[in-house]
């Protein structure tokens, strides 16, 4: 009943926005950036062949135009065969317009899925936090358990972030961030094989374990950690807690890291949940505040983001302010992605951020200098707690729900993976 009422509310909102714009009923409004329309359960859709074209506009008939005089003779082309300076240039193609976004279930019946990763050979892997299961999704939507990793799932820990090796075609490796009995750590492994730890000693706790990992444009691995419930960890350069870390694929420390010999890339974080790169190679992180001020930060090497000395946009010397702040009832931001050349052109180049307590998906446009534009929200209260948003190879965005993580209200079929994109 909760989901039905939420979806009816979304539909009424879209209808109202469309009528106000003077367009056809159900048309996507630019202000909403193409609102998501819930659709039926289905297997993953094929790669779209293009974005939806706008409806042609009918023009009124015109009277027969008068006969035009003969045009003047064109100047002769230069003898060397080069193009005349008066020849008009071919106009650039128009940018694609907004498309309708439909929500389709890719998988259901999962238990607190935390991350999803796509490999170059078209395999799709998912982590479950509490069970420690690595799952594979087949092209027909079937879910298969590949293996269980040894995790300590108490509280917010367990099997968390997942990333694909930049050299996967050669080494076949996956990387995972997980909570063990003694620490949080990053491991790598081929699916079905025993994992090898490449970075250990990240403080663990029942809360604030961080866990998101991603490879950057430089081929290095970035990891967001939490303060493990000890606020002072975030300002301690000798602790791996409350940081964003940067290591080589084998866990070594790059020579150009801000702190020589240390994997620490930035500090002063409370509990990093999402990492995403834009087209310019800039890194953004989403982060839980305490009981206020959830943050989106643009990450610079060696910078201090203030926790626990400050939270939100404090404007204090020595600390970097977030580019966007919202409060937990509408935010509690988690995983994020920046769609590029996607099937949802109105989201291209902006941050798409999942929201746990806020139970919605945020789209945050990014300006040329990396600041935040005016955000909009979709799927408000439609699917409950949203853990991650990930760009898929077909240009869609996949969203993971987390209503079975102990803090949500599961509906029938939860937890699920939802595909957002144009109608198939």
- Is 143 found in the same domain as 12? no
Average pLDDT, the chain: 85
Give the pLDDT of residue 423: 86
**Residue 26 belongs to domain spanning:** 2-32
- Is 27 found in the same domain as 111? no
The pair of three-digit structure tokens given for residue 208, joined into one six-digit string: 């604030």
Give a yes or no: residue 346 inside a domain. Answer: yes
Q: Hunting for tokens 């317009």 — which residue is that?
A: 97
- Is 13 found in the same domain as 139? no
Give the count of domains, the chain.
2
What's the CATH code of the domain at 156? 2.120.10.30
Alpha helices in 35-134 (DSSP H): none
Instruction: Give the contacts of 116 (CB within 8 A, at least 6 positions apart).
Output: 124, 125, 126, 127, 162, 388, 390, 398, 400, 417
Q: How far apart are CA 422 and CA 419, in angstroms?
A: 10
Give the pLDDT of residue 73: 43
Give a yes or no: residue 46 inside a domain. Answer: no
- Is 121 found in the same domain as 19? no
Q: Is 172 exposed, middle or buried (0-12, 13-18, 19+ CB in 10 A)?
A: middle
Give a yes or no: residue 178 inside a domain. Answer: yes
- Is 301 found in the same domain as 201? yes
Give the pLDDT of residue 85: 42
- Is 146 found in the same domain as 278? yes
Q: DSSP E strands: which ranges in 9-99?
A: 36-38
Give a yes or no: residue 43 inside a domain. Answer: no
Give a yes or no: residue 273 inside a domain. Answer: yes
**Beta strands across the sheet bearing 376-378:** 333-337, 351-355, 360-364, 376-378
Give the pLDDT of residue 2: 45
Give a yes or no: residue 66 inside a domain. Answer: no
Return the closest-CA partner of residue 201 out of 184, 189, 220: 184
Contact 265, 279 (CB under 8 A): no
b/e burial code for range 355-376 (CB count within 10 A of at least 16 → b)? bbbbbbbbbbbbeeeeebeebb
For residue range 104-142, what is the model confidence (pLDDT) as tens digits?
999 999 999 999 999 999 999 999 999 999 999 998 889
DSSP at 9: H
- Is 270 found in the same domain as 172? yes
Q: How many Cβ atoms are within 10 Å of 313's Cβ, its own excluded?
A: 14
Q: Look at the pTM and tell me if it is higher than 0.85.
A: no
Give a yes or no: residue 241 inside a domain. Answer: yes
- Is 260 found in the same domain as 349? yes
- Is 171 found in the same domain as 319? yes
DSSP at 154: S
- Is 395 found in the same domain as 246? yes
Give the pLDDT of residue 8: 39
- Is 26 found in the same domain as 105? no
Give the pLDDT of residue 308: 98
Give the pLDDT of residue 109: 97
For residue range 297-352, what is the model confidence (pLDDT) as tens digits?
999 999 999 999 999 999 999 999 999 999 999 999 999 999 999 999 999 999 99
What are the mean pLDDT values of the chain's consecutive 10-residue runs (424 residues total)? 44 36 33 46 38 31 39 42 46 75 97 98 98 96 96 96 98 98 98 98 98 98 98 98 98 98 98 98 98 98 98 97 98 98 97 98 98 97 98 98 97 98 87
Give a yes or no: residue 87 inside a domain. Answer: no
- Is 391 found in the same domain as 266? yes
Give the pLDDT of residue 89: 56
Q: Is 378 exposed, middle or buried (0-12, 13-18, 19+ CB in 10 A)?
A: buried
What values do phi and psi take at 246, rounded to 5?
Answer: -140, 120
């Amino acid at each position: 009943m909760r989901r039905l009422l939420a979806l009816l509310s979304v539909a009424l909102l879209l209808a109202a926005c469309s009528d106000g714009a003077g367009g056809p009923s159900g048309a996507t409004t630019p202000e909403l950036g193409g609102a998501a329309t819930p659709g039926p359960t289905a297997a993953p859709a094929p790669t779209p062949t293009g974005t939806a074209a706008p409806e042609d506009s009918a023009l009124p008939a015109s009277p027969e135009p008068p006969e035009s005089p003969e045009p003047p003779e064109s100047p002769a082309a230069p003898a060397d065969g080069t193009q005349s300076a008066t020849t008009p240039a071919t106009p650039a193609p128009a940018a694609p317009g907004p498309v309708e976004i439909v929500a389709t279930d890719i998988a259901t019946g999962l238990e607190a899925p935390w991350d999803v990763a796509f490999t170059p050979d078209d395999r799709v892997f998912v982590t479950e936090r509490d069970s420690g299961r690595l799952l594979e999704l087949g092209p027909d939507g079937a879910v298969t358990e590949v293996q269980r990793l040894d995790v300590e799932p108490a509280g917010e820990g367990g099997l968390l972030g997942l990333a694909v090796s930049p050299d996967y075609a050669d080494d076949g490796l996956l990387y995972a961030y997980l909570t063990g009995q003694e620490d949080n750590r990053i491991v790598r492994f081929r699916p079905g094989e025993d994992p090898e730890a490449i970075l250990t000693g990240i403080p663990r706790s029942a809360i604030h374990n961080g866990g998101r990992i991603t490879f950057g444009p430089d081929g290095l691995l970035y990891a967001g950690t939490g303060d493990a419930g000890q606020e002072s960890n975030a300002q301690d350069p000798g602790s791996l807690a409350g940081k964003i870390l940067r290591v080589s694929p084998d866990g070594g420390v790059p020579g150009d890291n801000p702190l020589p010999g240390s994997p620490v890339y930035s500090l002063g974080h409370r509990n990093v949940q999402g990492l995403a790169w834009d087209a310019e190679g800039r890194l953004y992180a989403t982060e839980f505040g305490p009981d206020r001020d959830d943050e989106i930060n643009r990450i610079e090497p060696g910078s201090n983001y203030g926790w626990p000395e400050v939270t939100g946009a404090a404007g204090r010397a020595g600390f970097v302010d977030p580019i966007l702040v919202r409060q937990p009832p509408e935010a509690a931001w988690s995983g994020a992605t920046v769609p590029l050349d996607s099937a949802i052109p109105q989201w291209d180049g902006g941050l798409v951020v999942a929201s746990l307590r806020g139970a919605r998906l945020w789209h945050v446009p990014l300006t040329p200098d990396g600041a935040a534009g005016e955000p909009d929200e979709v799927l408000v209260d439609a699917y409950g707690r949203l853990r991650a948003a990930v760009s898929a190879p077909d240009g869609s965005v996949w969203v993971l729900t987390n209503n079975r993580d102990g803090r949500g209200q599961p509906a029938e079929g939860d937890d699920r993976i939802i595909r957002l994109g144009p109608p198939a």
